Amino acid sequence: MPLPFRQRIFVILVALTAVPTALAVVGWALAVRTVAPSAGARVALEEMAASARLMVDRMDTTHLSPRERAAFREHLVQLSNSVTLARRAETYLRYYAGGFAAVVFVLGAFAVIAAVRVAGHLSRQLSRPIDELVGWTRLIRRRMPLPAGPPTRGAPEFEALRQALRELATALEAARERELEAERLRAFREVARRVAHEIKNPLTAMRIAVDQLERTAGRSDSRMATAVDVLDAETQRLNQLAKEFAEFGRLPEGPKSQVDLVDLLMDLGKSAVPSEVDVSVRANGEPCRLLGHYDPLRRAFANLLRNASEAMGGRGSIEIAVRRDGNGLAVTIADHGAGIPDDLRQRVFEPYFTTKQDGTGLGLALVRQTIEAHNGSITVAETPGGGATFSIVLSAT
């Protein structure tokens, strides 16, 4: 059975300490071997001393001259001193070898103990963060939130890896949400396309019948006239609903062209809202052109301006600001109406969601579809002092 990751690191680190310890022991053995020849020299001096004593015992020094006897005595003294020094050196070498062995043993033991402690510390520093990060990958796979507590102790590089995993988890969750939203929108578009197709066929016949009734019935019968007016209004509403369904099911097509947002918004400020609504467009003299589809953009911004006008009851002012934002354009449309509650701001762009009694719930969904088709984004926030502010960012390419 393989060892766990932490134990494998611990064994490897401890094994690495055996090399310097073995080298120290080998060095001690070599040092002892270098000292060994000194013992052979002492033995040779001892043998020379014994030979000298034997020579003194057997030799008759009375026949020697005084000069020869003096030289003989000097030789014996030197030989005795050499033997004495050899004995002392041997004693000192024994103590030295023993002390050296003790020092090597102590240092080796200290090295092993220190290595074990360091190996344990390093194995913990490496294994704990890795185990934690492996657990995080399981949480990411299960789409569970990552722990927000203090991180497990470890090297600073692991903290960078933790931060990268958090960013990855956030990006994956955002990507999942975008994919789910895209799938929902594809389903909505398909349903809208089919509904628009099914409505148009009977609606055409109904519109023809209403026109015939208007021509034949006239206005003599008030009850008939009222019924014809109701049919006309309702068929017109159904026709508008069919158009919105058809538009929602169709993305912008055809080649793109240069669109001047300032000119477009200034024109809509005069034609898309009642005359009692004052629309101001501020661009600071900057060129605000982008490559896009003119008609879908016009319908999207007209929808936003109409919603802002209706939110203010057909009276008031709408402030529009256009500016360059990096490689794109940023547009803000602020009204001073009732505003949008916080809990509804994330839902106003959903298809079929509306707060109006006669709304279809497709207006802002179409706006978002058009903005996203131009690689842009749209958000809504509160206008200071009351109202709603829509912020749009569009790519300039």
Identity of residue 69: R
Highest mean pLDDT among 62-76, 141-155, 284-298: 284-298
Q: Which residues pair with 329 in a beta bridge?
A: 324, 394
pLDDT at 305: 92
pTM to 2 decimal places = 0.52
Taking the C-alpha atoms of residue 257 and residue 262, their distance in angstroms, rounded to an integer, is 15
Taking the C-alpha atoms of residue 234 and residue 144, their distance in angstroms, rounded to an integer, is 49
For 166-212, how does the pLDDT look when each residue is reduced to its tens digit (9 = 90+)?
888 888 888 888 788 777 777 777 777 777 777 777 878 887 887 87
Judge whether residue 32 has pLDDT over 60. Answer: no
Judge whether residue 228 has pLDDT over 60. Answer: yes
Judge whether residue 31 has pLDDT over 80. Answer: no
For 41-93, how does the pLDDT look when each residue is reduced to its tens digit (9 = 90+)?
556 666 666 776 676 666 666 677 778 777 777 877 777 777 777 777 777 77
Share of the chain above pLDDT 90, in %: 9
For 79-134, how does the pLDDT look when each residue is reduced to its tens digit (9 = 90+)?
777 777 777 777 777 777 677 767 777 776 777 777 777 777 777 777 777 777 78
Judge whether residue 334 has pLDDT over 90. Answer: yes
In the block, tokens 């955002």 appear at: 174
Question: Is 372 buried (19+), middle (13-18) or exposed (0-12) by CB count in 10 A?
Answer: middle
Q: Give residues with Cβ within 8 angstroms of 331, minimum separation 6.
A: 261, 265, 301, 320, 321, 322, 391, 392, 393, 394
Judge whether residue 219 has pLDDT over 60. Answer: no
The mean pLDDT value for 135-154 works out to 76
